């Protein structure tokens, strides 16, 4: 079965952009080098021997904001040791005749998995069915990259000789430098394929206005920024980058210490947001959001993404108390599968019909930025525990707006709203206080387990205590 799948995949890949000796012209987006046998870098016998066991190599790339892909055959790889890509490489897929150790810029490529239904699964890319194989873009935005995947247990097999490497953030470059290596190792022999791309370009570094001891925040662009920003005025781009820096500084000022090590701007058609990645202190902004959102909204987005990094640093989603509270707020029944998954893994594997769930708490809508921060448009605290903790911290950071938010109609999204009764306001305060207590307990739990965010935890604990004291005074 696996060999049949490999042949099927190879056939589909070859049908995308065939490449071989009979090719009349160059492949779009790529230049192949070292075909001259007199070159001192002509591939060695060892190189050609390993290349003969690589059936296909696909490179996904982004050039001038547009995604593309190209496929190299075994014969291409046997005669070349260098590739030059227009733009930057955003994904790599290899189909080998048998098992190998394959890496991209020193990071191992993941095996391609086969689901029980025959669909292929590419790590950080998702499900790939026949007819949409290795499309350059995911259909759904990647809000946040996670280390684990609850669906992994349902995957029954590995595609022999199939490997894929896509960055944790969709549309990002597989390597930041202009030159990196794709390495195939078979036993004691290996093939090193040097790839030249545009990589990351430093746009500027913005010094904070208040945190004088903080290093300037570097802003990078994946690819060549003049291709994308050439039509923008310098003043407009400067104002947008400064709005992002302002949001980052607001969070760092509130919670003491440097949280963000940089911002990367990437292109990906259809995406209009910003994201972070577990274990990283970087923010990725999709250019459509950076160039299309109002300045005030860019500040809010930058604050929200910075708070995602704080949630990750403080290990809040690992807290049993917060998992239980979120399950209660979502209305999951005590014996529901959703509650079990949330308590065990920290998230629900997939959306279901609503069985095993009662009405969720209005607190989830209340703390979402589009409700709590008047004029803002984002926030989805009901999506998962990560988003809930992030939006709650955002509301806590602006706790001076709490009473004002309680007096406004509750924004339920999709142009729907609901007036709050006095009983409804008291219920929100009660649930807000319960969240404060659960989060305070989670900080103690994180301290016992050991973590690196002690200074930020101390500032958060102080804010939690201060806000709880205000709510207790108001309820008397």
Q: What domains appear along the chain, each with residue ranges and CATH number?
A: 2-196 (no CATH), 200-313 (3.30.2010), 316-474 (no CATH)
Per-residue pLDDT tens over the stretch 27-70: 455 665 554 444 546 789 999 999 999 999 999 999 988 888 88
pLDDT for position 354: 59
- Please answer whether residues 97 and 50 qualify as being in contact, where contact means their C-beta atoms are separated by less than 8 angstroms: no
Q: Can you name the residues that pair with 264 across neighbouring β-strands?
A: 220, 284
Q: Give the count of alpha carbons within 13 A of 350, CB side only.
A: 7
Q: Give the count of alpha carbons within 13 A of 34, CB side only.
A: 19
- The whole-chain average pLDDT of the chain stands at 83
Interatomic CA distance for residues 92 and 71, integer angstroms: 10
Entry pTM: 0.84
The dihedral sign for the CA sequence 454, 455, 456, 459: positive
Interatomic CA distance for residues 250 and 340, integer angstroms: 37
Q: Give the count of alpha carbons within 13 A of 20, CB side only.
A: 7
DSSP assignment string, 32-45: EE---TTSTTPPPH
Interatomic CA distance for residues 378 and 74, integer angstroms: 47
Residue 143 has pLDDT above 50, yes or no: no
E-only strand ranges, 138-261: 144-145, 155-165, 179-186, 189-196, 200-206, 217-222
The residue with greater pLDDT, 317 or 350, is 317
pLDDT for position 160: 85
- Please answer whether residues 121 and 160 qualify as being in contact, where contact means their C-beta atoms are separated by less than 8 angstroms: no
Average pLDDT for 152-166: 73
pLDDT for position 227: 59
Interatomic CA distance for residues 310 and 278, integer angstroms: 10
Average pLDDT for 329-352: 88
Task: Average the pLDDT over each of 90-94, 114-118, 225-229, 329-333 and give the range with the smallest value.
Answer: 225-229
Per-residue pLDDT tens over the stretch 178-219: 999 999 999 999 999 999 999 999 999 999 887 767 899 999
Average pLDDT for 129-154: 38
Decide: helix, strand or coil at residue 130. Answer: coil
Could you tell me which residues come within 8 angstroms of residue 182 by beta carbon, excluding any fewer than 6 positions away? 57, 92, 94, 102, 103, 104, 192, 193, 195
The dihedral sign for the CA sequence 435, 437, 443, 444: negative
Report DSSP state, residue 57. Answer: E
Q: Of 405, 409, 402, 414, which Cα lies nearest the Cα of 377?
A: 414
Q: Of 83, 267, 281, 58, which Cα lies nearest the Cα of 172?
A: 267
Do β-strands 110-115 and 410-413 pair in parallel, antiparallel, or remain unpaired?
unpaired
Q: At CA 472, angle to CA 360 and CA 434, rounded to 5? A: 30
Per-residue pLDDT tens over the stretch 241-282: 999 999 999 999 998 778 999 999 998 888 899 999 999 999
A 10 A CB-CB count for 289 gives 19
């Amino acid at each position: 079965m696996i060999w049949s799948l490999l042949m099927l995949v190879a056939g589909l890949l070859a049908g995308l952009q065939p490449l071989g000796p009979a090719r009349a012209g160059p492949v779009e987006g790529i230049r192949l080098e070292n075909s001259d046998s007199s070159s001192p870098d002509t591939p060695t016998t060892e190189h050609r021997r390993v290349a003969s066991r690589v059936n296909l190599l696909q490179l996904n790339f982004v050039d001038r904001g547009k995604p593309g892909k190209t496929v190299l055959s075994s014969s291409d790889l046997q005669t070349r040791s260098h590739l030059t890509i227009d733009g930057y490489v955003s994904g790599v897929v290899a189909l080998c005749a048998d098992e190998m150790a394959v890496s991209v810029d020193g990071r191992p490529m993941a095996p391609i998995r086969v689901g029980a239904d025959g669909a292929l699964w590419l790590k950080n890319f998702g499900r790939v069915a026949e007819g949409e194989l290795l499309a350059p873009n995911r259909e759904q935005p990647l809000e946040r990259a996670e280390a684990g995947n609850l669906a992994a247990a349902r995957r029954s097999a590995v595609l022999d000789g199939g490997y894929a490497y896509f960055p944790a953030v969709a549309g990002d470059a597989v390597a930041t430098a202009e030159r990196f290596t794709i390495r195939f190792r078979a036993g004691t022999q290996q093939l090193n394929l040097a790839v030249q791309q545009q990589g990351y370009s430093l746009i500027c570094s913005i010094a904070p206005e208040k945190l004088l001891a903080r290093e300037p925040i570097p802003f990078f662009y994946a690819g060549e920024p003049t291709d994308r920003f050439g039509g923008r005025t310098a003043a407009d781009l400067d104002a947008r980058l400064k709005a992002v820096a302002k949001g980052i500084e607001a969070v760092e000022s509130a919670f003491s210490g440097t949280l963000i090590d940089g911002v990367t701007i990437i292109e990906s058609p259809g995406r209009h947001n910003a994201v972070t990645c577990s274990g990283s202190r970087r923010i990725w902004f999709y250019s459509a959001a950076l160039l299309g959102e109002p300045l005030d909204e860019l500040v809010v987005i930058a604050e929200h993404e910075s708070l995602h990094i704080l949630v990750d640093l403080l290990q809040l989603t690992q807290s049993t108390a917060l998992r239980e509270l979120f399950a209660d707020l979502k209305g999951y029944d005590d014996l529901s599968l959703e509650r079990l998954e949330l308590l065990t893994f920290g998230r629900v594997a997939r959306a279901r019909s609503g069985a095993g769930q009662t009405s969720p708490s209005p607190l989830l809508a209340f703390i979402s930025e589009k409700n709590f921060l008047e004029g803002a448009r984002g926030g989805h605290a009901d999506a998962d525990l990560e988003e809930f903790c992030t939006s709650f911290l955002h509301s806590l950071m602006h706790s001076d707006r709490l009473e004002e938010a309680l007096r406004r109609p509750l924004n339920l999204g999709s142009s729907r709203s609901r007036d709050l009764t006095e009983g409804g306001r008291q219920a929100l305060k009660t649930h807000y206080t319960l969240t404060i207590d659960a989060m305070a307990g989670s900080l103690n739990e994180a301290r016992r387990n050991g973590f690196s965010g002690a200074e930020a935890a101390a500032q958060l604990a102080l804010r939690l205590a201060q806000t709880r004291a205000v709510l207790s005074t108001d309820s008397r």
